[in-house]
Amino acid sequence: MKTTKTQESQYARSLIEASLDPLVTISPEGKITDMNQATANIIGMSREQLTGSDFFDYFTEPQKAREVYQEVFAKGSVADSPLTLRHKDGKLTDVLFNGSVYKDDRGNVLGVVIVARDVTDQKRIATELTEAKVFAEMAAGIAEEAKIKAENATLIAESAVKAKQQFLSNMSHEIRTPMNAIIGFTKVVLKTDLSAKQREYLQAIKISGDSLIVLINDILDLAKVNAGKMTFEQIPFKMALSISAMVHLFETKIQEKNLEFIKEYDNKIPEVLVGDPVRLHQIILNLISNAVKFTTKGKITVRVHLLNEDEEKATVEFAVTDTGIGILENKIEKIFESFQQASSDTARLYGGTGLGLAIVKKLVEMQDGSISVKSKIDEGSTFSFILSFQKTNAEAELKTGIAELDTEIRNIKVLVVEDIALNQLLMKTLLDDFEFECDIAENGKIAIEKLQTKSYDIVLMDLQMPVMNGFEATEYIRKKMNSKIPIIALTADVTTVDLAKCKDVGMNDYIAKPVDERLLYSKIVGLVKIPSLIKYNGNEGNGNGQSKKLKCINLDYLNQRTKSNPKLMMEMISLYLEQTPPLISAMKQSLQDKDWNSLHSAVHKMIPSFSIIGISTDFENMAKKVQEYASTKQQTDGIPDLVLQLENVCAQACKELEEELNTIKITNL
């Protein structure tokens, strides 16, 4: 069906009117010949008033508008020239001026078509982001100089976020450094003889300091999530043990509030799953913490059940239910926003930053999970989230827990590399409490000089120091000195500490300030070679002719497997005592003969027994290194030391097992 010219004209007009941006046709003399309704709206005049008027009169800079118009005639078109239109009532609209000439059938120029794209909101957003970035630069003094054009809002936003991250990073360091001393020395003084009032005041200081650190951690976690710097591990772990450990943390608080606590765990969940147990802890701890905070009577229930599984993965739902104050229906969506709580009274009555749930939501969603909440006022709330985990046949990684202070472990020589005098004193105080020897170096250069003249067991290395920082010092120790001494990074800057960089330069671990003394102790003991702590021959006494020994076996696993059956226990121990000495001899002879295949075979037979009798996994890893070196015939110069350590620990294990065997026999006569 043919269309008439009238229909074509109506169709063209409908297209013009469909545009939300002002669209105008102008004669070569600059007079308006036609326009759409959007043009009339933005200027505030009728079509009749606008037709025939001078187009340039409606701009805040008429001459600039005229120059752009002339440029259209000169070039044939112009794109994205920024100008500002003025409404008759004075309202201004920022536009990008786009124009091109239009001609008749013979090629004669009839005028210009103008499209003025409204960019007022974009320009406002860009301006606000620029101001935010400038403020962050002034506050931190380190943000990069702005090089991004105002019209590109995305790039400006990225620059502002980067400046904010750097600002938070510096503020984290500046706040944590004094807090390290405040909390650390408060703990030290609390161990001394105090009056009841003094102890009460110091406890108040410690609680306030801990609260401040929680606040800082919440803000920094959220900043890391928003910046996309939050990373997730994929390691095998035992979920049942993980949940039990988390729940245990709240038992005392729940008992103090006289609440009932219920844990429901689905035993159909595979024993070992692959995921990030640390982030899972963080999510559940936040939810349980909220439940405890907002519940004064009734109960708290933690449910974990299997939704579904296939050959590759298991999908698990976690739910935390309380009988607390509840949440209004119209407030439920807001509670997952940053710095939001259900009402203004909530923060006043219960405290908190309003960041916990925002962090939880982001941590769940960044792992492709989902989170939801159901609640009724004065009846309680249920927060539930769903995550999927890969299935595996691998053994769970046993993360070293926080060890109790063991007075048997002494005389560890520690070099503390720290430039701030207050932190030096605190670290010396903590290490003295552990009965460890402590030397101080004010920077990395002095640390290197000390390491070249004196022997140490471990280095605690601050990262930010003058003269030579922690990264530079560690790189020198590893590459120039070829030293394998364990190094733990000490850092107050937990947002930008580059763990990959720490690992690349050769650091073994890191600990954040304020330093938790038990965590510090655990990391030091965990990294210092256990053989150096065992007095095998009893030659080193304690002054009364008796040697202090650190047991190298732990029979908990054996007890569990044999159900503490003394007959089975004796059989297992006897079998180990029978098999191990020949294996030690074979291992030593193979090394002497450089028979790498026989060495590989002997060590391979020893490895399974380590976990059975509770020898540290450090030695299992040593044995695996011997296997690797023997099979590849590389780094064979490192084998003798490893073999010696394996020989010593197995010999010590045999002595201890003989004592255990005699004890079991006597007990069961």
pLDDT, tens digit, 9 for 90 and up, residues 246-292: 676 677 678 778 888 888 999 899 988 998 887 788 788 888 888 88
User: Is residue 556 predicted with pLDDT exceeding 80?
Assistant: no
Torsion of CA 234, 237, 243, 247, to 10 degrees: -90
CA 30 to chain centre: 61
Cα–Cα distance between 26 and 115 in angstroms, integer?
11
Q: What is the pLDDT of residue 389?
A: 94
Cα–Cα distance between 526 and 260 in angstroms, integer?
37
Cα–Cα distance between 602 and 608 in angstroms, integer?
12
**SS3 for 523?**
helix
Q: For 592, what's the count of Cα atoms within 13 Å in the CB-facing half-sphere? A: 6
CATH topology of domain 124-226: Helix Hairpins (1.10.287)
Closest to 227 measured CA to CA, from 143, 174, 164: 164
User: Is residue 303 predicted with pLDDT exceeding 90?
Assistant: yes
Kindly list the strands in the beta sheet with 509-512, ordered across the sheet, starting from the edge strand earlier in the chain.
437-441, 413-417, 458-462, 487-491, 509-512
DSSP state of 59: B
The residue with greater pLDDT, 410 or 616, is 616
Q: Which of 43-57, 70-84, 351-365 has the lowest mean pLDDT?
A: 351-365
User: Is residue 88 predicted with pLDDT exceeding 50?
Assistant: yes
Q: Which of 519-528, 534-543, 563-572 has the lowest mean pLDDT?
A: 534-543
User: Is residue 442 predicted with pLDDT exceeding 90?
Assistant: yes
Q: What is the pLDDT of residue 335?
A: 76
SS (H, E, C) 410-465: CCCEEEEECCCHHHHHHHHHHHHHCCCEEEEECCHHHHHHHHHHCCCCEEEEECCC
Name the token pair of 107.
Answer: 């090629």
Residue 253: partners with Cβ closer than 8 Å, 6 or more residues away: 292
pLDDT digits (tens, 9 = 90+) for 630-654: 777 766 677 888 888 888 888 888 8
Name the token pair of 400.
Answer: 């070293």
CATH (residue range 19-118): 3.30.450.20
Cα–Cα distance between 155 and 153 in angstroms, integer?
6
Kindly list the strands in the beta sheet with 77-86, ordered across the sheet, starting from the edge strand earlier in the chain.
32-35, 23-26, 109-118, 92-103, 77-86
Domain 235-391 matches domain 413-528 at the CATH topology level: no
**SS3 for 251?**
helix
State the DSSP H helix or E strand holding residue 196, giving kind and residue range, or none if neither: helix 196-226
Beta bridge partners of 95: 83, 118
Residue 265: partners with Cβ closer than 8 Å, 6 or more residues away: 240, 243, 303, 304, 305
Cβ 83 vs Cβ 98: under 8 Å: no
User: Is residue 126 predicted with pLDDT exceeding 80?
Assistant: no
Closest to 175 measured CA to CA, from 228, 219, 134, 142: 219
Q: What is the pLDDT of residue 533?
A: 41
Closest to 441 measured CA to CA, from 518, 456, 409, 176: 456
The residue with greater pLDDT, 354 or 252, is 252
For residue 573, the one-letter residue type is I
Q: Confidence band (pLDDT; 50, 70, 90) for 496?
A: very low
Cα–Cα distance between 214 and 221 in angstroms, integer?
10
Closest to 86 measured CA to CA, from 111, 113, 64, 57: 57
Q: What is the pLDDT of residue 308?
A: 93
Q: What is the pLDDT of residue 109?
A: 81
User: Is residue 476 predicted with pLDDT exceeding 90?
Assistant: yes
Highest mean pLDDT out of 157-161, 217-221, 478-482, 660-664: 478-482
**SS3 for 472?**
helix
pLDDT digits (tens, 9 = 90+) for 457-470: 999 998 888 899 99
Cα–Cα distance between 384 and 487 in angstroms, integer?
41
Q: What is the mean pLDDT of the chain?
A: 77
CATH (residue range 235-391): 3.30.565.10
Cα–Cα distance between 416 and 424 in angstroms, integer?
7
Taking the alpha carbons at both ends of the chain, their separation in whole angstroms is 111
Give percent above pLDDT 90 in the chain. Answer: 14
Q: What is the pLDDT of residue 595?
A: 86
User: Is residue 314 predicted with pLDDT exceeding 90?
Assistant: yes
Q: What is the DSSP string of 623-634?
A: HHHHHHHHHHT-
pLDDT digits (tens, 9 = 90+) for 603-632: 888 887 887 788 877 788 788 888 877 777
Cα–Cα distance between 394 and 231 in angstroms, integer?
22
- Model pTM score: 0.40
State the DSSP H helix or E strand holding residue 308, giving kind and residue range, or none if neither: strand 299-309
CATH architecture of 556-667: Up-down Bundle (1.20)
User: Is residue 498 predicted with pLDDT exceeding 70?
Assistant: no
| CATH entry 2.40.10.10 includes domain 413-528 | no
Cα–Cα distance between 135 and 159 in angstroms, integer?
12
Q: Confidence band (pLDDT; 50, 70, 90) for 325?
A: confident
Q: Which of 120-134, 340-354, 514-528, 581-595 has the lowest mean pLDDT?
A: 340-354
CA-angle at 431, arms to 430 and 432, nearest 5°: 90
Cα–Cα distance between 182 and 381 in angstroms, integer?
37
Q: What is the largest CA-CA distance in the chain?
A: 120
- Beta strand 109-118 with 77-86 is unpaired
**SS3 for 468?**
coil
Q: What is the pLDDT of residue 269?
A: 92
Neighbours of 350 (CB within 10 A): 14
The phi, psi pair for 91, rounded to 5°, reads -65, 135
User: Is residue 157 predicted with pLDDT exceeding 60?
Assistant: yes
Beta bridge partners of 97: 81, 116
CA distances from 276 to 221, 233, 372, 390 (A): 16, 5, 21, 11
Give percent above pLDDT 70 in the chain. Answer: 74
Q: Which of 181-190, 351-360, 561-570 has the lowest mean pLDDT?
A: 351-360
User: Where along the chain do its domains lie?
Assistant: 19-118, 124-226, 235-391, 413-528, 556-667
Torsion of CA 192, 193, 195, 196, to 10 degrees: 70
